[in-house]
Structure 1
Amino acid sequence: MDRRRFLAAVGAAGTGVVGLGAAPARAAGTIGAFPARQRGWRAAPPDWQALRARLGSRLVLPDDPGYGTARLGFNELNDGQLPGAVAKCLSADDVRACLDVARGHGIPIAARSGGHSYLGYSIPDRGLVIDVRGMAGVRVRPDGTAEVGAGARLIEVYAGLAAAGRLLPAGSCPTVGVGGLTLGGGIGVLGRKYGLTCDRLGAAEVVTADSCLRTASPEQDCDLYWALRGGGGGNFGITTRFAFDTAPAPDLTVFVLAFPAGAVPQVLGAWQQWVAAAPFELWASCQIAGGTPPSCRIVGCWVGDPAGANQQIDRLLRAAATTPTSRTVAPKDYLAAMKFMAGCANDTIAQCHPTWEGGRLTRTGFVAVSRMFGPGPLDPAKVTDLMDGRTGVDLLLDSLGGAVGELAPDATAFPHRHSLASAQVYAGATAATAPQVRATVDAVRDGLAELGAPGAYVNYIDDTLPDWGRAYYGDNLPRLQQVARQYDPDGVFAFPQSVTAA
């Protein structure tokens, strides 16, 4: 499919979508509902040389120079996974060639966009990584529709759109791939005003398990289009291009409030009430650091000038009846605000990339899980108790509501439309400390569920989450399974936490 046909499909779909992370869950796959090795037979290995004839040095095998880097994901805890091959694709036809060679050989097949899969599902052991990083272009049409390659990192999307005076609501981590983020929903710092990233999706170019190249939109393959908006990365095919309905980029104001240790119950209680009643222009994250006692800060973004932001902040502080130890409020343009949220405010765009791409951002080891608050508030004292004494563990609460809540839970595959906030429990870890860290993080996650936060966000994918299919997808799970059966009847893209496996 050429670019003209792709954009024509976008035009036919219209732009009447309502407009919003972190690291996405990209999917590994197996042939059939279960891996071939579990069915008691061995398939012949793929003909890698046939694929090399197509891709040349862009097919990286274990004995090739560069494999040691090409095989890695972002999370260092997954470094023990050794893919059988990494295919660096530059086009949808490259992806089709990969599937034609690898399909039917009993190996996992996974797409990799930014490589941030928490559990390393995008780098399956002994499988094929279909790396779409080479498809990273960002083009903005005169009508504001943005054509974005599935391998573009968020910092590249922000820079490309800002140059055209446009914005897309999305996550804060600059090296996350837009592909995985969008397919899982796309929670981000402008979500309450402009919606989830997936809410802005007008069309997607997808290679399905049969190597067919499709354009999913409201007019074509509409069930697939529905599933791609929040149904999780890698479940239904390999997406190679997106078309987004962007918005004009306004002036923004960012702010950071730090509070004294021991003030968490007051601040969290006030924050929950504050964001629930806030104008759509306000987004704020309450970030609680475990300790004795726990401490917190609030990081936020206001669509407007500092005067408006300060009015909202003052309303919060009156409700919390506490004084922050520091208060930073600063006007920013769209790109500067996104760089600020990304933690690379003083860096060039090139520096906001991973070290292996010439930037300064390094890989790390971590354990992270999630829950979804709401629709009502949780007891702030009990949430604080969960973090008491847990030094090194962070609870990151990102506000939802606003435009996110204007759609019905079944309007897209993302079901958490009535949630107050997403909750990510995060802790750094090494291979040696991972078991203990995992137990601690899981305890906080399960404690939140007992307090009334049963759902979870698929982009923070978690292999010990109880009843994960329902937690991620709610009542949308049966329809997602039906779409998976329609477009991948043989389970080419199945993996341990795929829609098929649920």
Structure 2
Amino acid sequence: MSLLDRRTVLRVGAVAAVATLAGCADTPDTGSPTPSPSTSDETPGTPTTSAPSQTSNAPNWKALSSSLDGDLYLPSTSGYAAAHQLFNPRWDSVRPAAVVKAATASDVQQAITFARESNLVLVPKSGGHSYVGASTIAHGLQLDVGGLKSMKYANNTLTVGAGARLYDVHAFLDRYGQSLPTGTCPTVGVAGLTLGGGQGVHTRTYGLTCDRVVAMDVVTADGKTHTVSAGNEPELFAALRGSGGGNLAVVTSFTFSTIPGTKLGFFRLTWPEAQAAAVVNGWQQFVQSAPTTTWGNLHIDAKSNGTLAIRVLGVSTTGDATAAAAQLESLVGAKASGRQLSVKSHLEAVKYLGGGTTSPRQGFLAGSDVLKGPMDAATITAVLGAVKSAARAATPASAIFDPLGGQAAKTPAGGSSWPWRSALAVIQWYSSAQGQNAQTFIANGHRAVGSFSAGGYVNYPEAGRAVSSYYGASAAKLQAAKQKYDPDNFFHTPYTF
């Protein structure tokens, strides 16, 4: 089984042969979408268009370094090249003026204050998986919170630093028989995933990752610390739950309400290309009618021989996926040509879905659409045609449909800015290629779904797409929060609202 088979939760992160899971090519750790294509001569969307104007005096890097518990990396410093890297190598050529590797929340305050006083654009970085490279910036200050990764559990509550990686979080919670509804990529940072929403196999049963947040420690643009919750600065709390990172504040710590880390039942069903339309139609009915304990994402993959691979990877939080698999086959109207059922413990499932305990860096190009409701026959045909065109062009490409509904359809106590509660699914258009063919595939995907798209998922941003398309009806209240907590627009890269 390729790693692509194991990609399921946050987004896809795969490439036909060398694939990884959703989170791995999916979660922006701090990023939000860009309002217009980059004018850089590097890859589209390269975050080099927001270089700040410089003050008359050069930044006093020595003073900043002496104020930190963590480390400061300059272009002349040993280790700088590795320090500013993101998950996707396509951003390696972007060179920040400096990188702060924070060791404490105080370091975050110092970095923000220094950037303000030095007139530097600052971007935070957690896991570094942003689709558009939003956690790096040419000539600006990159603030890496990866060192903030302490974890504490008590009474069904996890307190975790913003830089903790998903596998480490799950391995820690497994000691207590607990879990969280998250994405799958083991190296995704908890901050980016959570702030943008956070989808996974538990989404329909327990909601989004952001829905489980009960409190956050944050540093706002004025360098002040806040502990926000439903009862303390509720406007900022709700705004941060689902709007993406790097917009309003830098989170240093999250407190989550955990879920039981029980066994999961898995099914993996495949069908021949001739039944592709029936599978898509049946899957749509499945998402609408299956119990909230059931989740299954649909993959339409371009194969190197010019054909399509059609499959659904599903999970039942009851621990037995037999009934769920049978229900899907019934709605498709045809037995699967390939059928696998299994049961896995919590940590076995985490490793299976994530392709292991870590993930290698990889290049990719991706985009998204939020599916308002079931597609009609013509739209299904168009979607299949978009992937088929990529297959015929020998372009590795996938359309991955992650289901919503169930608990994800309910706004959590304390509010949320995630705007797609009534949607059917999130589609990710993903290619491990990064040239014109990949861009054409993503554009064809957008056109295929047409009026059935409500917008895009902020954790799957792409260059050239309007920021407003990621926020829907939440846009106005997010702008109000921006005016209150960042009136001077300190957080102002091409990817922030």
Structures share fold, TM-score greater than 0.5: yes
2:139 paired with 1:126: yes
| Distance of aligned partners of 1:408 and 1:258 in 2 relative to their CA distance in 1, 3 Å threshold | same
Q: How does 1:32-431 map to 2 (within 5 A)?
A: 42-55=55-68, 58-141=71-154, 143-291=155-303, 292-306=306-320, 309-344=321-356, 352-353=357-358, 361-379=359-377, 380-391=380-391, 392-407=396-411, 411-430=415-434
| Distance of aligned partners of 1:443 and 1:419 in 2 relative to their CA distance in 1, 3 Å threshold | same
| Distance of aligned partners of 1:409 and 1:44 in 2 relative to their CA distance in 1, 3 Å threshold | farther
User: How far did residue 114 of structure 1 move?
Assistant: 0.2
**1:228 and 1:41 mapped to 2: Cα distance?**
30
Match of 1:25 in 2: 28
CA deviation string 1:333-376 (max 9, x = no partner): 112112111122xxxxxxx23xxxxxxx3111110000011233
Q: Where does the alignment leave 5 or more consecutive residues of structure 1 unmatched? A: 1-19, 30-34, 345-351, 354-360
User: How far did residue 44 of structure 1 move?
Assistant: 3.3
**2:448 and 2:414 mapped to 1: Cα distance?**
28
Contact 1:288 1:396 in 2 (8 A): yes
| Distance of aligned partners of 1:218 and 1:43 in 2 relative to their CA distance in 1, 3 Å threshold | farther
Q: Where does the alignment leave 5 or more consecutive residues of structure 2 unmatched? A: 1-9, 12-22, 33-47
User: How far did residue 451 of structure 1 move?
Assistant: 4.6
**1:150 and 1:39 mapped to 2: Cα distance?**
26
Contact 2:50 2:137 in 1 (8 A): no
Match of 1:468 in 2: 467
Structure 2 SS opposite 1:253: strand
Match of 1:496 in 2: 494
The code of the aligned residue for 2:143 comes to: I
Structure 2 SS opposite 1:454: strand
- Name which of structure 1's ranges 400-409 and 155-164 shifts more when overlaid on structure 2: 400-409
CA deviation string 1:34-66 (max 9, x = no partner): x99889775533211111112377111111111
The code of the aligned residue for 1:79 comes to: D
Contact 1:43 1:106 in 2 (8 A): no
Contact 1:257 1:325 in 2 (8 A): yes
Structure 2 SS opposite 1:286: strand
CA deviation string 1:365-407 (max 9, x = no partner): 1100000112334432232122222121100101110000122
Structure 2 SS opposite 1:147: strand
Length, aligned pairs only: 452
Structure 1 vs Structure 2 CA RMSD: 2.2
Structure 2 SS opposite 1:210: coil
Match of 1:446 in 2: 447
CA deviation string 1:102-156 (max 9, x = no partner): 2143322011000001111101111111111011122111x21100110011111
Structure 2 SS opposite 1:390: helix
User: How far did residue 173 of structure 1 move?
Assistant: 1.1
- Name which of structure 1's ranges 227-236 and 294-303 shifts more when overlaid on structure 2: 294-303
CA deviation string 1:401-456 (max 9, x = no partner): 000012289941001001111100000125xxx233223212212322x1511311
Which runs of 4 or more aligned residues in structure 1 lie more than 6 Å from their structure 2 counterparts after TM superposition? 35-41
CA deviation string 1:145-173 (max 9, x = no partner): 10011001111111111111111101011
The code of the aligned residue for 1:90 comes to: A
Structure 2 SS opposite 1:412: coil
User: How far did residue 253 of structure 1 move?
Assistant: 0.9
Structure 2 SS opposite 1:337: helix
User: How far did residue 323 of structure 1 move?
Assistant: 3.0
Structure 1 SS opposite 2:238: helix
- Name which of structure 1's ranges 211-220 and 404-413 shifts more when overlaid on structure 2: 404-413
**2:49 and 2:81 mapped to 1: Cα distance?**
27
Match of 2:4 in 1: none
